[in-house]
Structure 1
């Protein structure tokens, strides 16, 4: 028996979007989970709604716990607070499962499908949205360090591509169209703005040719007409995918229509929670690449079912992380395990800086490939120094 004894959450004021969860069990183990966005609301849900039901239950019954937490009376749709809270719990429970078995999570899931995973660099810089605010780059923005890649792709994407290739990265993701969405709510993009948004892709191809793959992120900001115009304009640059082109990404009919009318592959979606939205999109032939975020979709338990759907539809899988270090570790485990996984997302700026201040272990990347974690469970813990921060917000339920 491995009974859940307590739930502890951790938040910090300078990263208000992030929350970490520790689940302690009667056999002396501690499992670590994480989720992102609305951290204060997630904290309330974990302690007020979930903890009274979880405490005293067998932590080994992961599937049963997942089914209960992902099907509340309300709040089960997409990646709302209830689902994000359930995701943090599930990641922590799989961390515990790996620790009990003495193996990394990807082995506890059934073993690896590959020995390492290609990564791509999301060019987000040091604090893209962990502060709780979007960061859109204009002409007056100054780089905050050598890896402030969001400034770099808006200024000289070709030089940025060369920098990434020099470090072994063979793929990158940028979003130069985002700044043109607010004026019309994403429903209109003019030809001058379209040309300005295409400039970084042109710079990359002129600087390095086809030596690097380029993904375009649209962040669910655009309507059907403007998304189609962008996608068709990107065709000549041989982009690897266009990600989350429509608002919102549960629109199976709209995505299927877009996909039929453009040659660029469509990727989606980090924003979806649970199995059914992915089923609907795949059944509608609306996606070329399946992206999931384990801290939003329901954790490993739901994530491996989504990976199974991707396999059944012969679609590649690409775990998301532009949020936090434990989500990154979880995504890497899934990418090692899932048969059709092709990439794990990373942000070199956060890998080099504040991720290291939070957790003890991060993925090892060699020549653009993430190596498998070796420690049992998720393979990383919260740093002792992090737990000693004077501004740390800690809450415990027993």
Structure 2
């Protein structure tokens, strides 16, 4: 069977083997999505329980007999199955399916996904480090920040929440000093308008590159109002968005310092290409969210002019990759694009 004739014959969801990847801890993703055609299996893992269940009960059946290489057509079919208001969990499930099919396409074509997306993908992709569970007020924080920065990442990102404005500014200044460079701050949606406006004048670009997700919702009206009141505020957002129309409006009207959408949560690699194009047109830098690390690496390799350093979650990403052969780890602030077909992963089964 040639690639042009290949259609999706089977979709399965499997529980990952705890004897290989375990023991499981709270928050671990425990499922793999498997898609078959012509005796070849594509995969995406790890996937959380709820999107995996949606694939097993609805989306997998909708994908059967669809041509493997028709990614745009499959995306439309899956979104139609979910209805006009598909967002959140639905987009996440569609994105996981989309990535599994891209992996299958690459295996059938004997090419990495990045080489399907671009004739000349980059061989090395820059990454930045995020460690959002580290308490910057802890006695050991300085050593942790220094050790992370010394690994050569493009920059680092740390969480700051549950503190008064002056304490946030002081901790940010200390973290930048420990890292030896400006760093990004992730507010994790906890600050709100008042706290953000209190903190904004206390931060300088030499210390903080951006404040990510200061507001609980990524809403155009809310961010427009915030930015009109906090002159010079450098914000980043994107991972909470589900629709490209919302993304375009925010990029055009709010002009973030960085667009940080997730390659799976937005609907998958197929949809992410459009989001990269929208950001490129708006001249907004993209730093892809690290939850979907492997797809993000392939996208950044295929479109280096549109996507900058990818987020590497130094605590969570090694845990996610325990269930995979061929793990992808940074070296000197970069990761090498896998040269194996598809996404370059093999699931322990």
Distance change (3 Å), C-alpha of 1:62 and 1:236: closer
8 A contact 1:235–1:264 mirrored in 2: no
1:333-352 superposed matches below 5 A:
333-338=298-303, 339-351=305-317
Distance change (3 Å), C-alpha of 1:70 and 1:230: farther
Report deviation, 1:16.
Answer: 5.2
Distance change (3 Å), C-alpha of 1:73 and 1:93: closer
1:99-110 superposed matches below 5 A:
99-110=107-118
Distance change (3 Å), C-alpha of 1:284 and 1:72: farther
Report deviation, 1:377.
Answer: 0.7
- 2: distance between equivalents of 1:204 and 1:73? 44
Residue in 2 aligned with 1:254? 222
Aligned to 1:248, the other structure's residue is in SS state coil
Instruction: Confirm whether residue 303 of structure 1 aligns to residue 303 of structure 2.
Output: no
Distance change (3 Å), C-alpha of 1:359 and 1:62: same
8 A contact 2:12–2:60 mirrored in 1: no
Q: String of CA shifts for 1:205-264, please: whole Å, max 9, x gaps.
A: 4445xx333110011223222222223322365311111121200x11221333342324
- 2: distance between equivalents of 1:360 and 1:15? 22
Count matched residues.
336
Residue in 1 aligned with 2:20? none
Alignment counterpart, residue 376 of structure 1, candidates 321, 341, 344: 341
Report deviation, 1:356.
Answer: 4.2
Most deviating of 266-275 and 197-206: 197-206
Residue in 2 aligned with 1:162? 146
Residue in 1 aligned with 2:13? 9
Aligned to 1:256, the other structure's residue is in SS state helix
- 2: distance between equivalents of 1:212 and 1:232? 19
Report deviation, 1:72.
Answer: 4.2
1:231-380 superposed matches below 5 A:
231-235=200-204, 238-249=207-218, 251-260=219-228, 261-321=230-290, 323=291, 327-338=292-303, 339-351=305-317, 353-380=318-345
Q: Which runs of 5+ in 2 are unaligned?
A: 17-23
8 A contact 1:153–1:174 mirrored in 2: no
Alignment counterpart, residue 36 of structure 2, candidates 25, 31, 44: 25
8 A contact 2:142–2:178 mirrored in 1: yes
Distance change (3 Å), C-alpha of 1:275 and 1:64: same
8 A contact 2:176–2:207 mirrored in 1: no
8 A contact 2:14–2:31 mirrored in 1: yes
Residue in 2 aligned with 1:176? 160
Distance change (3 Å), C-alpha of 1:155 and 1:278: farther
Report deviation, 1:103.
Answer: 1.4
Distance change (3 Å), C-alpha of 1:172 and 1:112: farther
- 2: distance between equivalents of 1:108 and 1:71? 25
Most deviating of 106-115 and 42-51: 106-115
Report deviation, 1:22.
Answer: 3.1
Report deviation, 1:77.
Answer: 4.4
Residue in 1 aligned with 2:21? none
Aligned to 1:246, the other structure's residue is in SS state coil
Report deviation, 1:309.
Answer: 0.5
1:126-141 superposed matches below 5 A:
none
8 A contact 1:256–1:286 mirrored in 2: no
Residue in 2 aligned with 1:390? none
8 A contact 2:325–2:345 mirrored in 1: yes
8 A contact 1:316–1:340 mirrored in 2: yes
- 1: distance between equivalents of 2:288 and 2:137? 23
TM-score w.r.t. the length of structure 1 is 0.77
